[in-house]
Amino acid sequence: MMTKKEQYDEFWLLTKSVLQDSKIDADEARVIKRWLEEHRDGNSFDFIITKLEGFLSDGYVDRFESTNVIDAIGSVLRQLRTAE
């Protein structure tokens, strides 16, 4: 099992590479969702997983949804950092 610091570092690296173009597309959203599902502890990431499921329901992530996901990624990173 990973420590919170290891989770933070791994998620930070993942999102850093995904956000190089400052937007999230459907494939990138699926990668983030998969990582969150694999690393959730209880319901720790449910808010963003639910958000991603809704955004991905049509198979497309529009500009508004992309911005919303980017904001949620920041929330997850803060959550992981403060849990160290």
Encoded tokens for 10: 């791994």
**Could you read off the pLDDT tens digit of each residue along the chain, which spans 84 residues?**
788 889 889 999 999 988 889 899 999 999 999 999 998 887 788 989 999 999 999 999 999 999 999 999 988 888 888 875
Supply the pLDDT for residue 18.
Answer: 87
- Report how far residue 19's alpha carbon sits from residue 11's, in angstroms, rounded to the nearest whole number: 12
CA–CA gap between residue 71 and residue 80 (Å, rounded): 15
pTM of the model: 0.87
What is the rounded distance in angstroms from the CA atom of residue 5 to the CA atom of residue 47?
Answer: 21
List the end-to-end C-alpha distance of the chain, in Å, as a whole number: 14
Q: Return the sign of the alpha-carbon dihedral for residues 64, 69, 70, 71.
A: positive
